[in-house]
Structure 1
Amino acid sequence: MSRGNLTYPFSAVMGEITAKRALMCLLADDRLNGVLIKGPSGTAKSVLVRSMTALTDRSIVDLPAGTGDEDIFGGIDFERAVKDGSSVMKGGILSRADGNILCIDNINLLDPRTLNSIMGSLSSGTVKIEREGISAEYPCSASVVATMDPLERDLPESVADRFDICVSMTVETDAVKRGDVVASVLDFDRDPESFARRFVGDDAEVRHKIECARSLIPSIKVTRRDIQDIVTICTKMNAVGHRGDLACARVARAPVCLGREGQDNRRRHTRCIGHVPPAQEEAQAQIQDKRGRIRDIRRCARCGDLR
């Protein structure tokens, strides 16, 4: 949601603590493999994603639905061809996303072939294109944030597994809170500048926290003990393969650094484990039986569907 050059403030989005924390983790650690936000239409998924502009110097590059392959990956520069007869390639959306944040709304509605090519390019960090016998490569190192409504279409497992963090946004059912949301949006519509000024300080505080976390993350080590906790819980949750284990290990450091400095963070390296709803109630009970460290882990930020 934006009015002119103003976007709805990050701190003005009510509730959705889990989704906010997931995006903060992504901004704090460039090595994370993206955030997938699920939720019904109208739950402010896209609004929250675009509100990140106040938290980072990186640009948010949109990949609109229905975009053609040449616009996404790049193609022949026809303007140059007409102008001077040269045959050169120009980059597309993925090229512009290099070093920035790529936002893919309704990712589950993209053509599966195109989607697999996009995720492959992001995974390799390189876009390779070939048109009319001309080949070119462009770097593509981007943080990815995608949204989807699970009711519209499922996302292929092979694609969902590429996201380190997956969170869900839900419909607010409390009448008072729903009224607060409506009132806030109407205030923003009426006077965007005045509304945005009210949250400048809050957004600045969030940004400072993210910047502090970025400087701390390189010094945080996921210990062998932490890894064993991750593996144990992923096994009990029937996670297939090692992607879930690796996602938890990667995500573990960011929530620690976004927390209070100076505390004993060793217990909290594996916070993202609690984000995964177990496949069976029995698995849930087994995890709850592990006291202390794992109880703390389950209580923290939610990171996604491990498969």
Structure 2
Amino acid sequence: MSSTSVATPAARRVVFPFTAIVGQEEMKLALILNVIDPKIGGVMIMGDRGTGKSTTIRALADLLPEIPVVPNDPFNSHPTDPDLMSDDVRQKLLQGEDIPTDHKKVEMIDLPLGATEDRVCGTIDIEKALSEGVKAFEPGLLAKANRGILYVDEVNLLDDHLVDVLLDSAASGWNTVEREGISIRHPASFVLVGSGNPEEGELRPQLLDRFGMHSEIHTVREPVLRVQIVEQRSEFDQSPPEFLTKYQGQQEELQQRIVNAQQLLPAVNIDYDLRVKISEVCSELNVDGLRGDIVTNRAAKALTAFEQRTEVTVEDIQRVIVLCLRHRLRKDPLESIDSGYKVEKAFARVFEVELPEDATETNGTGQKLGARS
């Protein structure tokens, strides 16, 4: 099978198709942009229980094309790209050995809440290392997640130290394990997706800021849409192969758009004046550090590539800026206005555009306080 093909319904795991998911456009867009450019830095999805967070992420992993890998390699090493291969494979490449190539589906790794640091990062067998003189390394979940998606449900309940480890690996693309003077590192380049329910506590602002994008999702309120979602799920459960066949064309089309966007991304340009205005918005909102500026630039370029264009427009920036900045604003415990509205307001002022008609102040729970023009 070629590296850009979708598996036939009969051959692939039964996963609800991404293109059949109704609503939650904000979450879907954030996930797609991170797949186009993993350097955006992942997505934090906060929302009510039962809103399809896990279903959507699994569906995205299943949608993506197969990737070339070195057979039987625990790190999913790329056969030709040195930045995405383990030290062993790179050594063989430097020695001129022939590196075999296989293809496999992009993996989505679930990180269980009770996972230990050893389970996540991997362990070194000291006894074997000392007795046999080899670096005996037992890979962890970060190794399995290389070149895939790492999903952490209830990330706000995970130990802060572990969240730090995940974010470090996601940012650097490498995981280093050190024990008793022995050090091993391996590629760990993945799209980090965290999800959580705000009722169970927020992430510390320092950790939240390190997620590239932040998507807020709420339970669908429109009765017609709710009925559509329930009927679709029922239809899928009754006959998955039939349901998958129905969406096969849309799945292939979206997959091809993502592949094309990944290839087009290096050619996308964002005008200097637009970059200055993005930084002006960040400055006006008192966003700490430069992550907000960098991520907004990257996300706007990824969206432009997804739309099959090479010049970023004001509309592209408008579509991503709330996702990139809403979680970076300095928190005031007495603040009752939703931070997404504050970002939209600052954007409209700096870019001299009108606020969208549906821009509203909310009380932080998604409940509208009144539309603003």
**Alignment of 1:288 onto 2:297:** no
Counterpart CA distance in 1 for 2:169 and 2:349 is: 42
Change (3 A) 1:269 1:89: same
Which runs of structure 2 are paired with 1:97-246 in the superposition (5 Å)? 97-246=145-294
Q: Deviations over 1:234-280 (max 9, x none)?
A: 22223222211111112110111222548x64434524224455749
Q: Is the 8 A contact 2:348 2:355 kept in 1?
A: no
| Range moving further from structure 2, 210-219 or 126-135 | 126-135
- Number of aligned residues: 293
Large movers: runs of 4+ above 4 Å: 77-81, 84-87, 276-286, 289-292, 294-299
**Alignment of 1:31 onto 2:79:** no
Cα displacement (A) at 1:288: 3.0
Q: Is the 8 A contact 2:17 2:251 kept in 1?
A: yes
Q: Is the 8 A contact 1:32 1:250 kept in 2?
A: yes
Change (3 A) 1:280 1:117: closer
Q: Output the amino acid matched with 1:205.
A: E
Cα displacement (A) at 1:11: 1.0
**Alignment of 1:54 onto 2:63:** yes
Counterpart CA distance in 2 for 1:286 and 1:111 is: 34
Counterpart CA distance in 1 for 2:312 and 2:355 is: 11
Q: Deviations over 1:113-159 (max 9, x none)?
A: 12112222222222121335533222211121221111112112222
Q: Who is 2:21 aligned against?
A: 13
Q: Who is 1:304 aligned against?
A: none
Change (3 A) 1:80 1:48: farther
Counterpart CA distance in 1 for 2:159 and 2:145 is: 20
Counterpart CA distance in 1 for 2:197 and 2:231 is: 25
| Range moving further from structure 2, 269-278 or 249-258 | 269-278
Q: Output the amino acid matched with 2:34.
A: L
Higher relative CO (Cα under 8 Å, sequence separation at least 6) belongs to 1
Alignment gaps of 5+ in structure 1 = 300-307
Q: Is the 8 A contact 1:91 1:138 kept in 2?
A: no
What is the percentage of aligned positions where both structures have the same residue?
27
Cα displacement (A) at 1:73: 0.5
Q: Output the amino acid matched with 1:48.
A: T
TM-score with structure 1 setting the length: 0.84
- The structure that has the greater radius of gyration is 2
Q: Is the 8 A contact 1:55 1:203 kept in 2?
A: no
Q: CA RMSD in A?
A: 3.0
